[in-house]
Amino acid sequence: MSGKISLILILGFSTIFTFYGLRMLESKNSSANNFYFYYNKSQANYSAISGIYLALTNINKISSSWEPSNPTFIGNARVYINLTFPSVGILRIRSIANFNGITDTVIVIAKQKSFSSYGNYYQQFNNVWAATADTFDGAFHTNDYVQCYGNPVFLGKVTTAKGIKLWDNKSFPEFHQGWKLESADPVQFDTSAMRLAAYSNGKVFTDTTKNNRDTNLKLTFLSDGNVKYQWKIGTGAWSPEVTTALSSLSPNGLIMVQKGNVYVQGNLNGQATIVATHKGSSSAGIVYIEKSITYAENPNINPNSDDFLGIVAERRVEIPFDNSRGDIDIHASIFSVAGGITVANYQNYSSAYKMNILGSVSGLKVEPTAKYVYNSTLKRYVPTNGYSYIQKYDRRFDLQAPPFFPKLKVFTPLSWYQGQVIIPNFE
């Protein structure tokens, strides 16, 4: 009897072990399948991300008109890249990768950063130095050394392609948010897009006589939304002054002078970008700020102000010499292709004044604006003639910009979207 019981027990245990052994084997196979799936899924995801970086590298470093060759093989993955431009300066990249039958999708929205989003952006310093009483706000970048004479103040983050250079051992610049090295990105300017926008729904002033003469324009913005303007061609007389609504003069806000100069001042109510191009003329491509140019609603007082001004000069932006002017206020984002902000004859001013900038300045180089001496009592360099550069960055430019304001060449990712993959049931 006991032998039968033992046999039954043995058979029972064998059945149980066989059952659980099969279950363990099934579990092992399921684990292996899950491992293979997640491995393939991860490889597909990494390959799709690589496709995004491949597209950004080619567009930013090789050619803005680069087109992908589909499919592109990244390792053992087959990757399909699609590029679309929903609007000017916006790029959407879709990268779809297939690895061992598993597909993953990554979509990136990238944007060309506007130069207005920098407090200051310069290609070079040359022999000019940021000096005592100069205050720079917002992000500051130069593709050169940041050259400091005395005690200039940098309120925002500073990036430089070469480092910091001091005039002497009496120079102690203040970097409130520190500084770091960052790769250079040349200041580039393409007038074709602006010209197209100006002719399509903006306003263009040019030589209507077809004699290839320079054209000059005077603009005085008014706080009621109107603008007064007059122009002249070559050495001819100025036209009668016209007063009209800014929105009527230029519906899209872009006002361009082809091969000429602009003289601007006033109190802007609205949005505008002024452009002066030179087209080979040595006397053209300059924007002159003769007197203060300000917003009707100061964003320092009303952050919801919708007044925006862009000033774009293919040669330089200049403050003409006027010893009776005193301090000058400039509310604008400035882009100076071949220079910076020039203060004409700054050393001939009888005193030191303030150039108060609310906005941003980008250009080829930093320009001298004042004369300095060392004050042994204060133990620092102080301005004696000309204009100290006192800038406050307009925080609205973090997200907004004046109409058609120049942008950096490179596209920077703003947001990433990754596709959902359905996990199969391996039970």
- Residues 238/243/245/251 CA torsion (nearest 10 deg): -20
Q: Among residues 341, 323, 339, 338, which one has the least CA distance to residue 390?
A: 341
Mean pLDDT of all residues in 321-343: 94
Q: What is the pLDDT of residues 64-97, one digit of tens each?
A: 788 888 888 888 888 999 998 887 778 899 999 9
Could you give the CA distance from residue 2 to residue 69 in angstroms, rounded to a whole number?
79
Q: Which pLDDT does position 58 carry in this prediction? A: 87
What percent of the chain has a predicted confidence (pLDDT) above 90?
50
Q: What is the mean pLDDT of residues 120-137?
A: 89
Rounded distance, CA 372 to CA 194, Å? 39
Question: Residue range 382-392: average pLDDT?
Answer: 92
Between 87 and 256, the more confident residue is: 256
Tell me the residue ranges of DSSP E strands in 169-238. Answer: 174-175, 179-181, 203-205, 215-221, 226-233
Q: What six digits make up the tokens of 358?
A: 């609310």
Dihedral pair phi/psi, residue 350, rounded to 5°: -80, -10
| pLDDT at site 115 | 84
Q: What is the pLDDT of residue 20?
A: 56
**Position with higher pLDDT, 8 vs 251:** 251
**Structural tokens at position 381:** 């360099």
Is 407 or 124 the better-scoring residue by pLDDT?
124
Query: Among the ranges 1-5, 216-220, 379-383, which has the highest mean pLDDT value?
Result: 216-220
pLDDT at 31: 58
Q: Is the model's pLDDT at 180 over the cut of 70?
A: yes
Q: Give me the phi and psi of 367, to 5 degrees please.
A: -110, 150
Span 274-316, pLDDT tens digits: 999 998 888 999 999 999 999 999 998 998 999 999 999 999 9
Which residues have C-beta within 8 Å of that of residue 386, sequence separation ≥ 6?
A: 343, 346, 347, 349, 352, 353, 368, 369, 370, 371
Q: What is the pLDDT of residue 29?
A: 53
Rounded-to-integer distance, Cα 402 and Cα 89, Å: 14
Rounded to two decimals, what is the model's pTM? 0.78
Phi, psi of 67 (to 5 degrees): -120, 135
pLDDT value of residue 101: 85
How many CB atoms lie under 10 A from the CB of residue 24? 11
CA separation for the pair 427, 424 (Å, rounded) = 9
* Cis, peptide link before residue 71, omega less than 30° from 0: yes
d(CA 151, CA 131): 6
- Over 70: is that where the pLDDT of 10 sits? no
CA torsion angle 61 67 70 75 (round to 10): 0
Beta-carbon contacts of 423 under 8 Å, excluding residues fewer than 6 positions away, are 37
Encode pLDDT of 19-40 as tens digits. 555 555 555 555 556 666 778 8
C-alpha angle with apex 108: 183 to 412, nearest 5 degrees? Answer: 20
B/e letters for 126-145, b = 16+ CB within 10 Å, e = fewer, are eebbbbbbbbbbbbbbbbbb
- pLDDT tier at 423, thresholds 50, 70, 90: very low
pLDDT at 251 over 80: yes
Tell me how far apart the alpha carbons of residues 191 and 257 are, in angstroms, rounded to a whole number: 11
* Mean pLDDT, rounded, for 316-342: 94
Residue 266 reports pLDDT greater than 80: yes
For all residues of the chain together, what is the average pLDDT? 86
pLDDT for 230 equals 96
Query: Is a pLDDT exceeding 50 seen at residue 427?
Result: no
Q: Are residues 397 and 116 in contact, defined by beta-carbon separation less than 8 angstroms?
A: yes
pLDDT score, position 238 = 95
Q: Which residues fall within 8 angstroms of residue 183, CB to CB, at 6 or more apart?
A: 161
* Mean pLDDT, residues 229-240: 94
CB atoms within 10 A of CB 256: 26
Apex CA 316: angle with CA 62 and CA 381, to 5°?
105
**Strands 254-257 vs 271-276: parallel, antiparallel or unpaired:** parallel
Amino acid at 41: K
What per-residue confidence (pLDDT) applies to 16? 55
The answer on pLDDT for 322 being more than 80 is yes
**Percent of the chain scoring above 70 in pLDDT:** 87
Q: What is the pLDDT of residue 379?
A: 81
Distance CA 232, CA 67 (A): 46
What mean pLDDT is predicted for residues 210-219?
A: 93
